[in-house]
Chain A
Amino acid sequence: MKALEIFGISFSYNSPVDKSTSEVTEYVLRNFSMSLEEGKIHALLGPNGAGKTTLMRIITGILRGYSGKVVIFGNKMPDNRALLSIGYAPQAISLYMPLTARENLRFFGAMANLSDEQIAKRSDDVLAQTGLTGHANKLVFAYSGGMQRRLNLAVALLHSPKLLLLDEPTVGVDPQSRHHIYETLINLNASGMTILFSTHMMEEAERICSSVTLVDRGEMVFDGAMSAIDNLENFFLEKTGRGLRDD
């Protein structure tokens, strides 16, 4: 079964969402399609500004006003069942810093409509998975960057999603936390979870992902098995060019 299917998505930040601007429509995603088999770990790669985060936000229902279709486990978005089958860890640390890890998990668990008992049990599980059990009652702003990143992942895992979406889950963390996060992802995938994550860590993507989608300037430039690629970094530069992306 397909965990995720995206059909011809086009999206622009200044149209049709914001009709007040007279700017020429600039598409962040243009006729973008991809699909993801259940049970895979799939890498979403692309240079800065390629449209990866926008795509994640469209899949997770944060952004609306796109053309095309997103289907999650057979449910066309927007759909509550589809949303609750997704776990999303944004690129930014999207946590409440003045709360403890456990208080954050409690709040997001309630948003995901988990019962108090489920929240308590799953909080213990995800804190153990992300190596934060001993820090569960510390305020998040006292956490290191790596711990915050792991809690960001823990929140995404709390409601036991079938599809996990991670936007650059290891950005700004030390090798130890990065290694821990990747090991967690491998274990989650081994237990049946489908994972889609964006990253600039080519070696890690090559090591743990079975398939890859390459996106550039809002368009899909490659979608296929990782085994078909000899050297991911060279392949990436071949497909997207070596020029800087400062514009």
Chain B
Amino acid sequence: MIKRQLTEFVKKEMLIMFRDKQTILLLFLMPLALIFFMTLALKEVYADKIYERQIPLVIENESKSTKANLLEKKIQSHKLIKRIDLPPGMDKDRIFEYGKAQVLIIIPKGFDEGTKPVEIYFDPVLDTGHKVAVRSLMTGLTVEVVMGIDNLDTVVANLIIEKTKKNMDIPSPLQQAVPAYAIFAMFFIAIPMSIGFLKEKNDGTLQRLFTYSVSANTIALGKIIPYYIINVVQFLLMLFVGVFIAPYIVGSSFQTGNHLWHLIPVTLVVAAATTGFGVLVAALAKTPEQSPTLAATGAILMGVLGGIMVPYFVMSFMMKKLAMISPIFWAHQAYLDVFLRDADFSTILPKLVVLSLFALACFYIAGRRIKWM
């Protein structure tokens, strides 16, 4: 009897949900749009900073000596550099104001004799990664010219070997966006879930169910199970789009890792956390008008803290600490463990424990606070 009642609850909730265009927009189209737009917008942030972008650079060779000319030639031929000629009449002291170049290299008279060093000026807005790259490049090239070495890389080849590590620390933009916005949208389930509950409470349909000897537990499960299923469907849809469609549109690949089965426990636990949040909002809000504000504010704050809008790896130290209070952080890291780090289940498990505790806390508080009448 209870199984049949629950089945009918699921059917009823699904029908109501899929007939509400706003809910479809919120739960499915919003995260899909965010995946595409945020992947494109954040492409530069995740780009391989050294080789995916050339730095516009001006070289002022005041020495014109053989070594200075060789250095100039080596600099301008490097793939990191895009040499810009200073237009006639342009003041080199104000070069960054014109926005034409981001680095100015001056090879002074006396460079050959070692009496004056090469000067490097950086555009103040140039990011640290590029500054370090240019500084490192200039060090290497200057050493080559001064020491008479043809190629420093061949000299240090036996000392330093660069290998591509299978486990990446920094995700690609698509790799970040797919789980991030899938989780974000899963937390937004709290909006239709709480509105539905409060509407039914207000119009008396919820009370009407009690006249059929339907227990409160059955009603609660009847409200939770459909949204739990929707959460899983949301994730699967985002994953499908991330793997099969988005790469062709945004030009980034999406890797799923070698332990795909780990997605099952991760998704089930994340869905428990998100539906728990929905139940909590339904229990705390007093009116259907109040619940969307409460749910959206909660989800956005958790998203900001949890590394959805601003990726975790670019956060400040303090924000990285704060991120840990957001269940979205743990959910996102669990998915990155699966997709990128090929982590063992023992690595993922603590994150799932945190999410489970969050879900239990939500259900417990909601159970204490909820009013059926």
Contact = CB atoms under 8 A, between A and B. Distances in A.
Q: Main SS of the interface on chain B? A: helix
Contacts of B11: 107
Contacts of A57: 207
A62 B210 contact: yes
Nearest to B372: A62
Interface string B180-211: 00000000000000000000000111011111
A113 B210 contact: no
Interface string B258-280: 00000000000000000000000
B212 A62 contact: no
Contact of A112 (B15, B19, B204, B212): B212
A84 B213 contact: yes
A110 interface: yes
Interface stretch (B1-9, B38-46, B70-78): B1-9
Interface string A82-99: 011010101111111011
Given A111-B8, A111-B212, A98 B207 contact: no
Contact of B211 (A62, A92, A95): A62
Given A80-B213, A111-B5, A112-B212, A96 B207 contact: no
B91 interface: no
Interface residues of B, number: 23
B212 A108 contact: yes
A83 B211 contact: yes
B64 to A, nearest CB: 80
Interface string B3-44: 011011001100110011000000000000000000000000
A96 B16 contact: yes
Interface in A57-105: 57, 60-63, 80, 83-84, 86, 88, 90-96, 98-99, 103
Interface in A91-138: 91-96, 98-99, 103, 106-108, 110-113
Interface in B196-244: 203-205, 207-214
B207 A90 contact: yes
Given A80-B213, A83-B213, A112-B212, A63 B12 contact: no
Contact of B212 (A84, A90, A99): A84
A98 B211 CA distance: 22
A113 B5 CA distance: 8
B16 A111 contact: no
8 contacts: A57-B207, A63-B373, A91-B204, A99-B15, A110-B4, A110-B5, A111-B5, A111-B209
Interface of A: 57, 60-63, 80, 83-84, 86, 88, 90-96, 98-99, 103, 106-108, 110-113, 139, 155, 159
Closest 7 CB pairs of A and B: A94-B204, A110-B8, A111-B212, A92-B204, A83-B213, A60-B211, A80-B213
